[in-house]
Amino acid sequence: MMDTGRIAGALMGLAAFVAAGAVGLAKGLAPSACAWRALAAGALGFLAGWIVFGKVGRSMVAEAAASDPRKGEGKPGSPPGGSER
């Protein structure tokens, strides 16, 4: 089974790498500085994509889907079962 979090992270990392490298070269930075900045942007892009679309993101979506807003669960101060008296 494919891990969608890692795939999304890889795509975001690649996009960040290319964008940082292209912008750096367009602004006239030295190629070595561009390379380091692009590598850092790629690593951070991968990490962000992996967190958002990986296990953390899936668990947040599952938790949000499990709560039933009609019952009032998750609202501070609401009684269990959602009956407001």
71 occurs within a structural domain: no
Kindly tell me if the per-residue pLDDT of 27 is higher than 90.
yes
- Is residue 11 assigned to a domain? yes
Dihedral angle over CA of 52, 58, 61, 64, nearest 10: -120
Please state whether the predicted TM-score (pTM) of the whole model is above 0.85.
no
CA distance 54 to 72: 28
Percentage of residues in the chain having pLDDT higher than 70 = 76
Could you give the number of structural domains in the chain? Answer: 1
Q: Is residue 70 part of a domain?
A: no
56: domain range? Answer: 4-62
pLDDT tens, position by position, 46-84: 999 888 888 788 888 888 888 766 665 555 665 665 555
The answer as to whether 25 is a domain residue is yes
Q: Is residue 23 part of a domain?
A: yes
